[in-house]
């Protein structure tokens, strides 16, 4: 009989229950979408911060002061071996650098030997003009800064002849960099070319990495890398990581506050709707009491009804919430937000809890005499 009653209850008041499920589902949808957002926002934002460029530096420990020749160097193979050994999915780009102050057309120019394929990944903010695509055969490609191109009247496709002491290398301009900083006055070549030019094979000035993640995560990775490279310095680049950490925590706080605000509101509105529903049931409760039903049994029945509503609303809402968060992700980040499966059961439980809380007034009816309930008619 209990299940029959429950079923009839749920089927019964058509319109009002539809409103209740609607309210529960909307609340569930909003809450689950926002929860999805909250879980993913950090990942998305830290990715955005990578536009700042390299945030980790590996450099020689005992630097010497000198003029233009690259006196402080590290072993390229040691560094890349260490980086290989400490694999981490958060590492977005790794690039070695070797600086040589060479000359071309009788003008001194800073030559940076690096991995030209990794360079744009390391510094995504740099605009690189020129439809250039690197292929292994074309070792003699180079990228030049805007000011270099301007001064030396170079364009994409021009030839460039670099000299250092007695060494000489012929290169072709594959692209022009506009970054707004020192890079605008530099020439970027493949590392082996720079090493040849300076006659120091296998050496680099330093290495830079772009690592995604929180300040703590980046420090942790840096520590691991440092223990694999005891001879060198491995440090987060403070300008970037400090500012990023601070900004990130402020933004997260902002979003979390908004989410809590809205969740509380929607929960309150559901509470209100449930309370109204409970009030509707007063008559039924009064009658059942008059018929000799114990308040425990009666309340269990109505709580079960409310619980089922909560679960149904929660389920529907959670599904809709996934869609909503997907749309939100698309609008804001241009990519979908990855949803966590845990949000599903969490939302349903939350909705059941809220629904039951809202129906609490029913319990109070336990004290009320049936006669009074009937009198209110």
Instruction: Check binding of 366 to another protein (CB under 8 A).
Output: yes
Task: Give the rounded distance of the alpha carbon of 47 from its chain centre.
Answer: 6
Please report, as residue ranges, which positions from 70 to 109 form the binding site for another protein (by CB under 8 A): 99, 101, 107-109
CB of 184 to another protein, least distance (A): 7
Q: x/- site string to another protein, residues 166 to 205, per CB under 8 A?
A: ------------xxxxx-xxx-------------------
In whole angstroms, give the CA distance from residue 171 to residue 11.
80
Instruction: Check binding of 303 to another protein (CB under 8 A).
Output: no
Q: Which of 18, 48, 85, 165 binds another protein (CB under 8 A)?
A: 48
Q: Point out which span in 192-200, 219-227, 346-354, 361-369 binds another protein (CB under 8 A).
A: 361-369
The alpha-helical segments, DSSP class H, found in the chain are 2-12, 14-49, 76-85, 119-122, 146-151, 191-198, 215-228, 238-280, 282-290, 295-333, 343-358, 361-364, 370-375
Instruction: Check binding of 284 to another protein (CB under 8 A).
Output: yes
Q: x/- site string to another protein, residues 102 to 141, per CB under 8 A?
A: -----xxxx------------x-xxx--------------
Q: Point out which span in 87-95, 291-299, 339-347, 356-364 binds another protein (CB under 8 A).
A: 291-299
Instruction: Check binding of 215 to another protein (CB under 8 A).
Output: no
In whole angstroms, give the CA distance from residue 318 to residue 36.
10
Give 341's contacts (C-beta < 8 A, 6+ positions apart). Answer: none
DSSP per-residue string spanning 12-79: HTHHHHHHHHHHHHHHHHHHHHHHHHHHHHHHHHHHHHGGG---EEEEESS----SSS----EEHHHH
Phi and psi, residue 344, nearest 5°: -60, -65
Q: Which of 156, 226, 276, 320 binds another protein (CB under 8 A)?
A: 276
CB of 68 to another protein, least distance (A): 7
Q: Which of 39, 80, 219, 333 binds another protein (CB under 8 A)?
A: 333
Cβ proximity to another protein, 4 vs 87, nearer residue: 4
Q: Which of 28, 34, 209, 306 binds another protein (CB under 8 A)?
A: 34
CB of 30 to another protein, least distance (A): 5
170, 256, 302 from 361: Cα distances, Å: 85, 31, 11
In whole angstroms, give the CA distance from residue 369 to residue 153.
97
Please report, as residue ranges, which positions from 234 to 253 form the binding site for another protein (by CB under 8 A): 235, 237-239, 242-243, 246-247, 250-251, 253
In whole angstroms, give the CA distance from residue 37 to residue 339.
8
Cβ proximity to another protein, 81 vs 155, nearer residue: 155
What is the chain's alpha carbon radius of gyration, rounded to the nearest angstrom?
A: 33
Residue the block writes with tokens 């690096």: 114
């Amino acid at each position: 009989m209990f299940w029959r009653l429950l079923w009839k209850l749920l089927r019964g008041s058509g319109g009002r229950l539809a409103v209740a499920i609607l309210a529960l589902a909307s609340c569930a949808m909003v809450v689950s979408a926002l929860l999805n957002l909250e879980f993913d926002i950090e990942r998305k934002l830290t990715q955005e911060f990578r536009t700042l460029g390299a945030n980790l530096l590996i450099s020689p420990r005992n630097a010497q002061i000198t003029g233009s020749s690259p006196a402080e160097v590290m072993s390229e193979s040691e560094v890349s071996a260490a980086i290989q050994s400490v694999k981490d999915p958060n590492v977005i780009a790794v690039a070695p650098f070797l600086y040589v102050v060479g000359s071309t057309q009788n003008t001194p120019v800073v030559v940076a030997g690096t991995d030209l394929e990794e360079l744009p990944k390391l510094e995504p903010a740099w605009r690189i003009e020129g439809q250039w695509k690197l292929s292994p055969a074309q070792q003699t490609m180079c990228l030049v800064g805007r000011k270099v191109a301007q001064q030396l009247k170079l364009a994409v496709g021009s030839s460039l002849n670099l000299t250092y002491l007695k060494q000489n290398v012929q290169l072709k301009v594959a692209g022009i960099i506009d970054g707004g900083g020192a890079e605008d006055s530099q020439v970027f070549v493949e590392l082996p070319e720079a090493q040849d030019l300076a006659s120091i094979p296998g050496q680099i000035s330093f290495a830079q990495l772009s690592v995604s993640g929180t300040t703590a995560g980046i420090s942790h990775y840096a520590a691991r890398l440092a223990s694999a490279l005891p001879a060198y310095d491995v440090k987060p680049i403070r300008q970037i990581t400090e500012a990023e950490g601070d900004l990130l925590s402020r933004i997260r706080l902002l979003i979390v506050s908004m989410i809590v605000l809205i969740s509380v509101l929607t929960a309150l509105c559901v509470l209100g709707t449930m309370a109204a529903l409970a009030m509707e049931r007063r008559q039924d409760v009064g009658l059942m009491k008059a018929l000799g039903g114990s308040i425990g049994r009666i309340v269990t029945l109505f709580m079960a009804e409310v619980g089922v509503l909560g679960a149904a609303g929660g389920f529907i809402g959670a599904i809709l919430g996934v869609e909503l968060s997907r749309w939100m992700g698309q609008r804001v980040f241009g990519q979908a937000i990855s949803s966590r499966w845990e949000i599903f059961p969490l939302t349903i439980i939350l909705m059941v809890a809220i629904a039951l809380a809202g129906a609490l007034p029913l319990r109070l009816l336990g004290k009320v005499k049936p006669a009074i309930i009937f009198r209110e008619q």
